[in-house]
Amino acid sequence: MPILETDSLTRTYGELIAVNALTFSIEAGEVFGLLGPNGAGKTTTIKMLTTLLPPTSGKAFVRGFDVARQSASVRRVIGYVPQMISADGTLTGYENLIIFAKLYDLPRSEREDRVRSALAFMGLADAEDKLVREYSGGMIRRLEIAQSMLHRPPLLFLDEPTVGLDPNARRTVWEHIEQLRKDYGITILLTTHLMEEADNLCNRVAIMHLGNIVASGTPEQLKAGIGGNGSTLDDVFIHYTGNKLESGGSFRETTRARRTARRLG
């Protein structure tokens, strides 16, 4: 049984169809990438799958739980790292995690151990008592991933996990995501508009354009599908969406992305 399954999942805002009858599924253990430019509907999709946004129509199931009707059960089996910076800068790394350990009902006797091992896993043991506003961008992202996996969710959502990071920090985050999958067998759904990221991390990708999935498969299949030897995912992307990644995106999304980038500095 797939760990995540959607059936004609749709979200509209007035006239605008942000996500149009999306049907796809993810098997346990996969790293699945949703690719697309800003405004393609990736974040709206993630918001529906994480119970933040009720679908206009259609259904989605996480481990068999309906995201609209059984949201409380869905919330216990997912982890989520939003696109924006969601760690609290005025608290230490340790405090950011211990609060969520409590919110997720980890048994009192295990909380400390679980928090410390999550910090160590993400390479943050030395920084646990520093205020998060003193962290670098890559450290903040790693902290947020540590926070989202405290309750060992079988399914993790990462919305643009490396947006605004420099190449070194990006590579470190990739290594940790890869390690997470290996050590814990966590299934991951990530969104990105970096083809290199998708190529590096994902077993399977789906390309979104204007609210629709226009192509999906393994990165190799997609590259082979457009025929050229030496095609890259970038070529695949241009082939299906007719434009480069940079184009698109509303004013609001662009300002948000810039603000995130600035905060990650």
Judged by the rule CB under 8 A, the positions of this chain that interact with another protein are 1, 5, 7, 28, 47, 50-53, 59, 61-65, 72-73, 75-78, 80, 82-86, 88, 90-92, 95, 99-100, 102-107, 131, 147-148, 151-154, 256, 259
**C-beta closer to another protein: residue 60 or 222:** 60
Place of tokens 């230490």: 92
**C-beta closer to another protein: residue 113 or 175:** 113
Q: Find out whether 25 and 5 touch, Cβ atoms under 8 Å.
A: yes
Q: Least distance to another protein from the beta carbon of 118, Å?
A: 13
Q: Least distance to another protein from the beta carbon of 148, Å?
A: 8
**C-beta closer to another protein: residue 22 or 106:** 106
d(CA 244, CA 198): 16
3-state secondary structure of 209: strand
Helix/strand/coil (H, E, C) string of 124-175? Answer: CHHHCCCEHHHCCHHHHHHHHHHHHCCCCCCEEEEECCCCCCCHHHHHHHHH
**C-beta closer to another protein: residue 142 or 151:** 151
CA 104 distance to own-chain centroid: 20
Q: Least distance to another protein from the beta carbon of 165, Å?
A: 16
Q: Least distance to another protein from the beta carbon of 254, Å?
A: 14
